[in-house]
Chains A and B, each alone.
Chain A
Amino acid sequence: EAQVTQNPRYLITVTGKKLTVTCSQNMNHEYMSWYRQDPGLGLRQIYYSMNVEVTDKGDVPEGYKVSRKEKRNFPLILESPSPNQTSLYFCATRGYSTDTQYFGPGTRLTVL
């Protein structure tokens, strides 16, 4: 079954405590992206990756890092989380030969 998995699904943390949200896909997709969704703002792209070791900034990259060491994984790293990073985060993947992005189930992050 084609899947995009995110972990954890829910996380409450405190300001400044480094955290990583993992994203994994089993579809051998080249493209992966991270989005954040906030009420009234829709989805905004944080970072995207065209393939292993190839990443680029989206519209709201400040305060985030990513890495793409393996094709299937694209973790999102918050080195020093702040309350304004409280949001719902989605990972998405797309294969080279298709236009369709497949979204994961989301990670709800609260930074106190």
Chain B
Amino acid sequence: QQQVKQSPQSLIVQKGGISIINCAYENTAFDYFPWYQQFPGKGPALLIAIRPDVSEKKEGRFTISFNKSAKQFSLHIMDSQPGDSATYFCAASSQGGSEKLVFGKGTKLTVNP
């Protein structure tokens, strides 16, 4: 049973465009929603994260939008750059006394120059 569904699997955008990656979850106990960025040959690195008490969080060109009622959250990358080309993973956890983190299957983003 996949607890976090991520789409699309791959995404190609032009430099300067907006990249949008979507995730949906099922477990209403989830209370922490991070996005990780992974470059080839490297471990994932935290990009941005949100808790359900806010509907949006912005850090530079990266924004998380969160819809609690729909159980969906998305990552928006504004003014996408070739250096943003990487694989992006959404994840979710319920951190009350647990360290279980569930990941989506990932989105490979390619930003063409």
User: Are A and B bound to each other?
Assistant: yes
User: Could you say which residues of chain B place their CB within 8 Å of the CB of A50?
Assistant: 99
Say yes or no: A43 contacts B99, CB within 8 Å: no
How many residues from B make CB contacts under 8 Å with A? 22
* Min CB gap B62→A, angstroms: 15
The docked-state distance in angstroms from the alpha carbon of A105 to that of B38 is: 11
Looking at chain B's contact residues, the main secondary structure is strand
The docked-state distance in angstroms from the alpha carbon of A40 to that of B89 is: 12
B-contact 0/1 string along A75-98, CB 8 Å cutoff: 000000000000000101010000
How many residues from A make CB contacts under 8 Å with B? 27
Say yes or no: A48 contacts B43, CB within 8 Å: no
The docked-state distance in angstroms from the alpha carbon of A58 to that of B103 is: 12
Partner of A105, one of B43, B103, B105: B43
Taking CB as reference atom, which chain A residue is nearest B44?
A103
Taking CB as reference atom, which chain B residue is nearest A94?
B99
* Min CB gap B93→A, angstroms: 9
A residues within 8 Å of B by Cβ?
Answer: 4, 31, 33, 35, 40-45, 48-50, 56, 58-59, 90, 92, 94, 99-106
